Amino acid sequence: MKHYAIIGHPIAHSLSPLMHNRAFEILGRKARYDAHDILPEELSTTVARLTEEGIAGFNVTIPHKHAILSSLATIDEAAQQIGAVNTVVNRDGLLFGTNTDAYGVFQSLAPFADRIRQANVLMIGAGGSARAVLFSLLKDFAPSEITIATRTIAKAEALALHFQPLAPGIPIRTFTASKDVLNTLIGSATLVINTSPVGMAPHDTASPLPAGIGIRPDQVVFDLIYTPLQTTLLRDAAAAGATAIGGLEMLLHQGARSFEIWTGERMPLDQIRPLVTEALRSRTH
């Protein structure tokens, strides 16, 4: 029986065990996927133990996505650029790390690629997930400009500095997110992406955009949050006739990509999607 896992803290709410174990079952694979709640000070010893025990691969989540780098033998370009690893493969005792979050972003936005090419992008938030979003936007979509609006401007500036060399022809601008700034920036944006936790349960009534802001029907609004599935931002976008994309597809595709890297088989997403959707619905009702 092959062993896979996710390590993070806290980890009790992770949907990864549900996704992967059901996928193994559907495909008739003898494998199991566990969740390990690991504190930062336990990370390196736990990873060493799991490797010693022959774990085939594991996911890494908050707060270990950066700290894991020192336990790995190699990482690929995506993980290097994003500065975070969420998927590890055990290759005969040597650990290889990659990042499938950007693939999840790519899969979420790919159906709208024609509208994103040469478009202005407004991204709210400058934390961990913003890094995967920037990587995918710059590598996969060629927008004309990206504007980061966030709470702590220094974080946005650090991101801009880090990612600008990936695509020097696509300017990355930074602003402190205020009502006035957002009101102005939304006017020229075609794609609006929320990478901040504003609107996440239990604060479902909050939105990262000021109340009454004019969302237009030609805009695409992508909210990374998946609890709730329908955020206030997505509801406002849909009510304005805009295209609204939630965080569920990103969640599913990052997991599906890890699964494929480990097993060489596609995760049966048509069967996994309703399962995860139901688990999320029951959690927020």
Of 2, 30, 65, 155, the active-site residue reads: 65
Binding of residue 197 to ligand NAP (CB under 6 A): yes
Partner residues linked to 53 by β-bridges: none
- Only one of the segments 4-12, 16-24, 247-255, 271-279 lies at the binding site for ligand NAP (rule: CB under 6 A); that segment is 247-255
CB of 254 to ligand NAP, least distance (A): 6
Q: Cα(174)–Cα(245) distance, rounded to whole angstroms?
A: 24
Binding of residue 126 to ligand NAP (CB under 6 A): yes
Name the one residue in this structure whose structure tokens are 């000070």. 41
CB of 193 to ligand NAP, least distance (A): 10
Q: Which of 82, 85, 124, 220 binds ligand NAP (CB under 6 A)?
A: 124
- For ligand NAP, what does the binding mask look like between residues 127 and 146, x meaning CB under 6 A? xxxx----------------
65 a catalytic residue = yes
Binding of residue 107 to ligand NAP (CB under 6 A): no
Query: Is the bond preceding 228 in cis, omega lying within 30 degrees of 0?
Result: yes
Binding of residue 57 to ligand NAP (CB under 6 A): no
* Three-class SS of 148-200: EEECCHHHHHHHHHHHHHHCCCCCEEEEECCHHHHHHHHHHCCEEEECCCCCC
Q: Which of 31, 143, 247, 256 binds ligand NAP (CB under 6 A)?
A: 247
Strand, helix or coil for residue 39: coil
Angle between helix 269-284 and helix 248-263 axes, rounded to 10 deg: 140
Strand, helix or coil for residue 32: strand
Binding of residue 36 to ligand NAP (CB under 6 A): no
For residue 123, the surrounding DSSP H or E stretch is strand 120-124
Q: Catalytic positions, please?
A: 65
* Residues of this chain that bind ligand NAP (CB under 6 A): 101, 104, 124-130, 150-152, 155, 177, 195-198, 200, 208, 224-226, 247, 250-251, 254
